[in-house]
């Protein structure tokens, strides 16, 4: 059901509530709980317009403190499949998912791989910088203790870590 011939899309459009989760890039994107994916497809002459949304909770490891944390994400996206075959390169053009641009995918065959489309959106949505919170102090460079739990005993790195300095600057700006 995740591979669809363009001819199978009815005039009035087609809503797909994706229950088959075989598309999900499990290995690359660990997640927690249920993933919800909904799509709406509409065909206009040589183009298929896909609007979709994916809801999931990613399970990431913080770059600073190395603790696991949950990141709920709601991804809304639009992809246009071009069935005209007019583009000589037949290339898939990719954009960042949070940009306002719509992806245009040129197809050699009029078969739309929705699983591929969904997986790509999820992969693009993994943040480059994974932080459990924006001001995560990380671990002490001296003793390796998680500074989220409070100051460590050695006191190393806490008082004047760049994050604390930044925090103080931000506090000043607020006043
Ligand atoms: Zn952290
Ligand atoms: Zn320490």
Q: Are residues 36 and 81 in the same domain?
A: yes
Ligand positioned closest to the Cα atom of 69: 1
Residue numbers of the domain that contains 105 = 3-124
Report angle CA 78, 114, 73 to the nearest 5 degrees: 55
Query: How far is the C-alpha of 122 from the C-alpha of 138, rounded, in Å?
Result: 27
Whether 129 maps to a domain, the answer reads: no
Whether 130 maps to a domain, the answer reads: no
CA 154 to ligand 1 centroid distance, Å? 20
Query: How far is the C-alpha of 29 from the C-alpha of 58, rounded, in Å?
Result: 7
Q: Are residues 88 and 53 in the same domain?
A: yes
CA 141 to ligand 1 centroid distance, Å? 14
CA 154 to ligand 2 centroid distance, Å? 4
Whether 147 maps to a domain, the answer reads: yes
Task: Indicate the pTM of the whole model.
Answer: 0.72
Q: Are residues 102 and 145 in the same domain?
A: no
Q: Are residues 79 and 31 in the same domain?
A: yes
Asked if residue 56 lies in contact with residue 21, where contact means CB atoms within 8 angstroms, the answer is no
Ligand positioned closest to the Cα atom of 163: 1
Q: Is the pLDDT of residue 12 over 80?
A: yes
Q: Where are the alpha helices (DSSP H) in 23-113?
A: none
CA 95 to ligand 1 centroid distance, Å? 29
Whether 131 maps to a domain, the answer reads: no
Query: How far is the C-alpha of 91 from the C-alpha of 60, rounded, in Å?
Result: 32
Q: Are residues 11 and 79 in the same domain?
A: yes
CA nearest to 69, candidates 31, 122, 34, 33: 31
Q: Are residues 21 and 85 in the same domain?
A: yes
Torsion of CA 47, 48, 51, 56, to 10 degrees: -130
Q: Are residues 155 and 98 in the same domain?
A: no
Q: Are residues 51 and 92 in the same domain?
A: yes
31-44 β-sheet, strand order: 14-18, 31-44, 47-61, 68-82, 103-106
CA 169 to ligand 2 centroid distance, Å? 23
Q: Are residues 106 and 153 in the same domain?
A: no
Ligand positioned closest to the Cα atom of 68: 1
What does the pLDDT look like over 89-139, one tens digit per residue?
444 444 444 555 677 777 667 788 999 999 999 999 999 999 999 999 999
Query: How far is the C-alpha of 126 from the C-alpha of 29, rounded, in Å?
Result: 8
**What sign for the dihedral angle of Cα 61, 129, 157, 133?**
negative
pLDDT tier at 38, thresholds 50, 70, 90: very high
Q: Are residues 113 and 149 in the same domain?
A: no
Whether 36 maps to a domain, the answer reads: yes
**What is the domain count for the chain?**
2
Q: Which residues surround ligand 2, an ion (CB under 5 A)?
A: 140, 142-143, 152, 154, 156
Number of H helices, E strands in the chain: 2, 7
Whether 132 maps to a domain, the answer reads: no
CA 19 to ligand 1 centroid distance, Å? 33
pLDDT tier at 84, thresholds 50, 70, 90: confident
CA 44 to ligand 2 centroid distance, Å? 62
Q: Are residues 119 and 165 in the same domain?
A: no
């Amino acid at each position: 059901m995740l591979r669809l011939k363009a001819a199978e899309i009815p005039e009035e459009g087609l809503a797909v509530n994706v229950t088959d989760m075989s598309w999900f890039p499990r290995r690359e994107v660990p997640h927690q709980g249920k993933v919800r994916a909904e799509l709406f497809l509409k065909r206009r002459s040589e183009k298929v317009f896909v609007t979709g949304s994916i809801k999931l909770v990613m399970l990431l490891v913080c770059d600073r403190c190395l603790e696991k944390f949950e990141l709920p994400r709601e991804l809304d996206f639009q992809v246009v499949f071009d069935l005209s075959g007019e583009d000589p390169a037949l290339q898939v053009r990719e954009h960042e998912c949070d940009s306002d641009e719509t992806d245009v995918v040129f197809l050699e065959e009029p078969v739309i791989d929705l699983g591929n489309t969904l997986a790509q959106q999820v992969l693009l949505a993994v943040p480059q910088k994974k932080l459990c919170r924006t001001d995560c102090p990380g671990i002490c460079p001296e003793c390796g203790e998680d500074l989220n739990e409070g100051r460590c005993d050695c006191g190393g790195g806490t008082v004047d870590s760049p994050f604390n300095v930044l925090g103080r600057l931000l506090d000043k700006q607020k006043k």
